Amino acid sequence: MSDAGPHVDAVDVQPSALGDLIRAGDRKGFAALLERLDPGDLVRTVARLEDEDRTRLLSLLDPDDAATLLGQLPEALAVDAMEDLEPVAAARILEELPSDEQADLIGELDEGDARAIIRHLPDSDAAEVQRLLTYADDVAGGLMVMEYLAYPIDATVAQVIEDLGANAEKYADYNIQYLYVTGADGALAGVLRMRDLVLSSRWRRLREIMIPDPSFVRDTDTLERLAGFFDEHRYFGVPVVDAAGALCGVVQRSAVEAAVADDRDRIYLNAQGIVGGEELRTMPLLLRARRRLSWLSVNIVLNIIAASVIALHQDTLEAVIALAVFLPIISDMSGCSGNQAVAVSMRELTLGVIGPRDLWRTVAAEVTLGLLNGLVLGVLLALVAIMWKGQPYLGLVVGGALMLNTVIAVIIGGSVPLLLKRMGVDPALASGPILTTITDMCGFFIVLTMAAALIGKLT
């Protein structure tokens, strides 16, 4: 891809200009250029740099600025850049990020790269990252930060305030709405609101002013559970305890909200056939093509299987060639109706208003709707057929088939996500292809069987 040409405008020229400055090592020059861009243009420009230029840029920036820039880039690009950087430089940048983001990025790296970078992190960061890496991304342990403040239950207010003052610099990035209070073996004993600390006499002990028995989550709690927790409670963060009850981190509401947004992105991408991770068009062509093909090749096989139903009824089709016009319509419209039902089931599962067990309730709600919408669509298609060919029986066949197949499609679309969830398969990934394959087969079968039965009236 070239950056020059008649369709390229002012903002588009900058990646190459920036690239030149970076390759010349002109720190002042590119710093001034970056400064001039607003945040949206910055991401767009840096995302579009050649890989080497982006890596060089990150290594030339202050680690703090590099970390900020990294946080703005799509994760897939940030991971590539980390892998290309010298481990020492990568570690210096990672140091500036909170522990959960460190672990997220390192978790995406090749194992060798990850080990090399961790070796160059300060010992305390390395230990935190190692610990966080033991958790999946979508449980409390993987979402928590280790930047929180905890004090022993017998500490005095004066001691806490002194510590806050002595470490003001270090704590600057922490969210310290709450302080946590720990008992023996680091067990979570209470929380302390900053405000209560301010308003207490300096000689009092935390056990007297803390809120005892605070809410907490387990390190193994799922994202779904955490989202439910924050729906129920108006807190900005919740302490995380391990199996022994020891405080091991804090999950912030915003981290849960962000993970929920990521999950929605994945559901959308999977439904549209983008699997195996984020695709950006700056990624290598062969990687992009291979990932998309992995999905398409499953689908073409399923499509061929479904279409074989037509092949089996070729004689009917030969006799009533007009049916060939309606087969794709019935296939596509049934897919549309079924996908709507898939989406509603996915949403109801996400919102927690149904569970995998609510199969019959879901089917019942879809059957009535399918009959209604199938009737409307079927009559419409029948009228089109009749107006076109002047054959009422053709209308009956294609309209009746669409109606019947709409009912089948919404039943399958509504129930497949629940069945897959019950079987432990990701419904976002598999619902669509299963739906379209079955509804296509049924649709083709119904049209052609009905036509065969009425063949005398149709020819």
Q: Are 253 and 236 in contact (CB under 8 A)?
A: yes
What's the CA gap between 275 and 265, in Å, rounded?
Answer: 11
Q: Which is nearer to its own copies, 113 or 431 (CB)?
A: 431
Q: Which is nearer to its own copies, 134 or 215 (CB)?
A: 215
Q: Please give the helix or strand (H or E) that residue 407 lies within, else none.
A: helix 392-422
Site for its own copies in 55-94 (CB under 8 A): 68, 71-72, 74
Find the distance separating the first CA and the last CA of the chain, reported in whole Å.
56
438: left (phi over 0), alpha (psi -120 to 50) or beta: alpha
Site for its own copies in 220-279 (CB under 8 A): 224-225, 228-229, 231-232, 234, 236, 252-254, 257-258, 260-261, 264-265, 267-269, 271-274, 278-279
Phi, psi of 287 (to 5 degrees): -65, -45
Binding to its own copies by residue 367, rule CB under 8 A? no
What's the CA gap between 451 and 223, in Å, rounded?
Answer: 51
Q: How far is the CB of 279 from its own copies (least distance, A)?
A: 5
Binding to its own copies by residue 360, rule CB under 8 A? yes
Binding mask of the shown chain, residues 388 to 427, with x at each position contacting its own copies by CB under 8 A: x---------------------------------------
Site for its own copies in 99-158 (CB under 8 A): none
Binding to its own copies by residue 362, rule CB under 8 A? yes
Q: Which is nearer to its own copies, 119 or 233 (CB)?
A: 233
Q: How far is the CB of 366 from its own copies (least distance, A)?
A: 8
Sign of CA dihedral 163, 165, 167, 171: positive
What's the CA gap between 286 and 277, in Å, rounded?
Answer: 15
CA 417 and chain centroid, separation: 17
Q: How far is the CB of 307 from its own copies (least distance, A)?
A: 5
Binding to its own copies by residue 359, rule CB under 8 A? yes
Binding to its own copies by residue 387, rule CB under 8 A? no
Q: Which is nearer to its own copies, 88 or 166 (CB)?
A: 166
Amino acid, single-letter form, for residue 281: R
In the three-class reduction of DSSP (H, G, I as helix; E, B as strand; rest coil), residue 248 is classed as strand
Q: Which is nearer to its own copies, 303 or 391 (CB)?
A: 303
Counting residues that bind its own copies (by CB under 8 A) gives 133
Contacts of 394 by beta carbon, 8 Å cutoff, 6+ apart: 320, 322, 323, 385, 386, 458
Site for its own copies in 302-331 (CB under 8 A): 303-304, 306-308, 310-311, 314, 317-318, 321-322, 324-329, 331
What's the CA gap between 30 and 42, in Å, rounded?
Answer: 12
Site for its own copies in 171-210 (CB under 8 A): 171, 173, 175-177, 194-199
352: left (phi over 0), alpha (psi -120 to 50) or beta: left
Residues in the chain: 459
Q: Which is nearer to its own copies, 71 or 152 (CB)?
A: 71
What's the CA gap between 428 and 426, in Å, rounded?
Answer: 6
Site for its own copies in 270-299 (CB under 8 A): 271-274, 278-282, 285-286, 288-289, 292-293, 295-297, 299
